[in-house]
Structure 1
Amino acid sequence: MLQLEGAKCSFLLCLGISIVICSAIYLRAKVRMKPEPLIVSVGCRPFDAKCSTFLSSPEEGLEWHRRDCQVESYIFNSHLNCSQLTKDLHFITRPLSDEEESYPLAFILTVHKELELFVRLLRAVYAPQNVYCVHMDAKAPWQYRTAIRRLVGCLPNNVFLSSRSETVTYAGFSRLQADVNCMRDLARSEVAWRKVVNTCGQDFPVKSNLELVRYMRSKEWRDRNMTPGVRQPTAMGYRTEIQHREIVGSYVAPRGRAWKKEPAPHGLKVYFGTAYYALTRDFVDFALTSPVAQDLLEWSRDTYSPDEHYWVTLNHIKEAPGSHVDGGWNGDIRSIKWRDQEGTAHKGCKGRYVRDICIYGLEDLPWIIDRNSMFANKFESDSFPEALDCLEQWHRDKQLRQATVPIEPSWLLAIQVHSNRSSSSSSYHNSSAGGP
């Protein structure tokens, strides 16, 4: 009888302890499930009034307020752990749809300055199913390099630095070599990426990741490479007919009319086009292993801006995987306002021209959004910051509205705030995206 009573007491004691433990776990989980308050960062630059044209209309009595304006300080803050860093920088941490998860993309990002622009570009194109190779210019300041290494180190599963860093020269072979270096690294990636897209630090996406996937999988481009370009015009002949030399990290200069180049190897016809592309994985393997591709790469070393002829010339080889010999300028890779196209392709730059390319201002956004290219180029964070603020929020809002998964509060770059109250009374309304 005493043994029975003792066993009964032991059972009741264990039961009581189990109830206490389960209650504690439940309450802790309940606290965790409670939505975190959405805070507006103090001192954030407000959206320009003209930006309201592009943003989804807030509810009556509410207006959009930015949550993010401390990009650089977050990265340089060594006391923040990685989970806090990526959360505070509003990186999207889950695939937004099954369609995107089943079609991973690879990205090459070549950067050398403007840390804030790089962070905003990376988080705009970032998705956990994709893979990203970051080529950091060898001449970049050490503070910049340290910050980028820290951010990349917080995204170790699918973001990495190129295994070889070039000192990149504008219009030099080093710019092409930087892409090739990343391609070699991406070819060894365990991520089963389908196509690779290259970007520079002053780009910003216009299409969402879902739209990029659908564009790549469209009937026209499903099995093809995108390398817009045409047979090299006579006016561009100097680029490949005369030898050039690259003054490392400075400029590229012609050696003189006497320094003629031999014709392109294997009887290839040289094409001229954009340095930006979307390439199939089979084509990348071809570019890295084919003797024809390697001979053309070596021949291009002393040409001017070889990245503007190399990829498009390879893509006009009939035997190349995914080649598009009749492609012409097809493929909506970039929205760029060139000075010499003013009055025809566009109605002028609302920002300012640098090297005959428009640095976009806020009033350029209608043209960019209407074009709906994959990316727009170029932006500067100092010259016209309100243009990037507006496009970034428009792009993120579009991404989240297309999502088929519940939205995490940390993914929001801006929230709707009562216009006549403090930022502490903020709320987010996005029923079409599923809510936080």
Structure 2
Amino acid sequence: MPTINAWSWKHLRIVFILLSLILSLNILLSFCYPRTSYNIESLKKADFYRPIFQEYLDTFPTLHQIQKKETNKLEAIYDHCEKLWNGQATDIQINSSINRKGHALEYLPRNMLDNCDDYFTRRLHFYNTEPVTEFEENFPIAFSLLVYHEFDQLEQMLLALYRRQNFYCIHVDNSSSEQFKSLVSKLAKCFPENVIIPRHPTDIVYASASQVRGELNCMIELLAFSDKWKYLINLTGEELPLMTNLELVTVLNKMKGSSLVDGPLSLDEHNRYPESKLPFGLKKFKSQTHVVYPYDAVMFLKENQNLTDTLLQFLEPYKYPEESFFALLQFNHHIQFPGGLKKEWSETKLPVLTYETESNSYFLRYKNWAFQKNYKCLSKKKQRNLCMIGVRTLPELVNEFYGRQMFINKFPWSFEPFAWDCILSWNYRKVQTEYKTKKPALLHYSFLDNPQLKFTRKYDDK
């Protein structure tokens, strides 16, 4: 019978000791970092991990480590992004950023949303669930999002927008793929207290009345879901905020009940309106499709369904009715739309935006139209006459339009993805600074210089 010599016994003892140490360490870590169930309640109270045994945790490929790695990626690119928008990047660095493929945040494994606990563990660092101040907490915003594809982009939009006190309606186009619909449904179920999907979605067709019906669908659902929110902002699936939530709240509070649309725009396009008179004695107006509405304005749309239905039916045969619907309500003062104009448009002497208007003369969105005066598309790529956002657009966004406009429009997911990552990183850094200082970074909001605000109905109007 073979025997184990002293040398072999020595090695066995070493192996036994090592196994004992590993087992003891695992037991110790299980007490320090127990498995946490991140349902919606625990997510509200969650704080960032502050590991004591970081040198040991770094050796384990846990969800926490994936999460930390992704956070570091978002923070790591900030310095490089800062060089881009401060004009300090070399041509080589700029071209490298333009040609970079993929996004800083890793895409979610498609099965991760099957378990919300796993999802929150992975993304916990990015969801700024806690309001920065009590003022922000007491001013909930409702967001409606019309989307039809690119789930990862939608998920990262929600990362940038999410606060526990806000409300979100995600309208998924009926024509979207079944996989996209399923993923959005799973995402919403992880936020049962403030993220909803309309029960009867609209089949949206570009430049048709169905776009307005999709918007109204979400607005009515948000009214039914909660009466706590103060303002509503409508969004599409290719946008990111130029302002943090605290900055948005600061601006909306100072609007004092005003509604806003960007316009009115020139009426020189053909086939936008019939020759016959509009219903309800309305005068013709056109605007951008983006709105900022106080709660009362959205309630007005619900309570005056005959007005909205008649108006949509009248506009339906013509091109781009979504550019007329909101403008007709806003600028026809006799409708008495909450937050709309309180006097005849001609009396305000406000300008009409035309083709001769300076590029990016809007307030709700950064939108660079190809047909406007001084148009210059820095990314050299446009879609439906809109300049797409790219790396070379970053200096303009951060240095010129921050504080003037609320959101950035036309951010295609696969076009120069590093530009998207930089804005996401910039927003993330701003929010972390707000948590430390308890105040927004901006002192002056040129958004509030919008001349419309001088003539809109306010809460304190008699």
Please indicate the TM-score interval, normalised by the length of the shorter structure. Answer: 0.7 to 0.9
Query: Would you say 1:313 and 2:345 are equivalent positions?
Result: no
Residue 369 of structure 2 is matched in structure 1 by 338
Conserved 8 A contact 1:208-1:395: yes
- C-alpha root-mean-square deviation of aligned residues, in Å? 3.1
Per-residue deviation at 1:405? 8.9
Give distance in 2, aligned partners of 1:278 and 1:331.
13
- 2:84 and 2:435 map into 1 onto residues whose CA distance is 19
State the TM-score, normalizing by the size of structure 1: 0.72
How do 1:226-375 residues align onto structure 2 when only pairs under 5 Å count?
226-230=260-264, 233-241=266-274, 262-290=276-304, 291-318=306-333, 319-324=336-341, 326=348, 332-341=363-372, 344=374, 346-369=375-398, 370-372=400-402, 373-375=405-407
What residue number does 1:76 align with? 111
Q: Which residue is 1:426 aligned to?
A: none
1:53 maps to which residue?
83
Change (3 A) 1:150 1:50: same
For 1:288, what is the secondary structure of its paired residue?
helix
Shift of 1:69: 2.5
Residues of 1 paired with 2:367 and 2:250: CA distance?
22
Correspondence for 1:113 = 149
Gaps of 5+ in 2: 1-28, 35-46, 55-64, 87-101, 354-360, 439-462
Distance 2:31 2:284 in 1: 63
SS in 2 for 1:217: helix
Contact 2:261 2:292 in 1 (8 A): yes
One-letter amino acid of the structure 1 residue matched with residue 369 of structure 2: W
| Contact in 1 for aligned 2:390/2:416 (Cα 8 Å) | yes
| 1:383 correspondence with 2:418 | no
| In structure 2, distance between residues paired with 1:131 and 1:293 | 24
The amino acid across from 1:86 in the alignment is: F
Q: In 2, Cα distance between the equivalents of 1:67 and 1:331?
A: 29
Structure (1/2) with the larger helix percentage: 2
Aligned length: 346
Q: Is the CA contact (8 Å cut-off) linking 1:96 and 1:405 kept in structure 2?
A: no
1:100 aligns with 2:115: no
Equivalent residue of 1:113, what SS? Answer: coil
Show CA shifts across 1:205-240 (max 9, x none). 11100111111112xx2121011212x634224212
Is the aligned partner of 1:123 residue 2:153?
Answer: no
Moved more, 392-401 or 289-298: 289-298
What's the % identity of the aligned pairs? 23
Contact 2:233 2:293 in 1 (8 A): yes
Instruction: Report the CA distance shift for 1:312/1:115 in structure 2 as closer, same or farther (over 3 A).
Output: same
Q: TM-score, normalized by length of structure 2?
A: 0.68
Name the CA shift for 1:351/1:72 in 2 (closer, same or farther; >3 Å).
farther
Tell me by how many angstroms 1:383 deviates.
1.6
Task: State the alpha-carbon separation in 2 of the partners of residues 174 and 338 from structure 1.
Answer: 23
Tell me the alpha carbon deviations over residues 18-77 of structure 1, each in whole angstroms, 9 at most, x when there is no partner.
xxxxxxxxx988656971456314996974985132699xxxxxxxxx99622332x433
The answer as to whether partners of 1:351 and 1:364 remain within 8 angstroms in 2 is: no
More strand by share: 1
Q: Secondary structure at the match of 1:149?
A: helix
Aligned to 2:235: 199
Higher relative contact order by CA 8 Å / sep ≥ 6: 1 or 2?
Answer: 1
Question: Is 1:179 the equivalent of 2:215?
Answer: yes
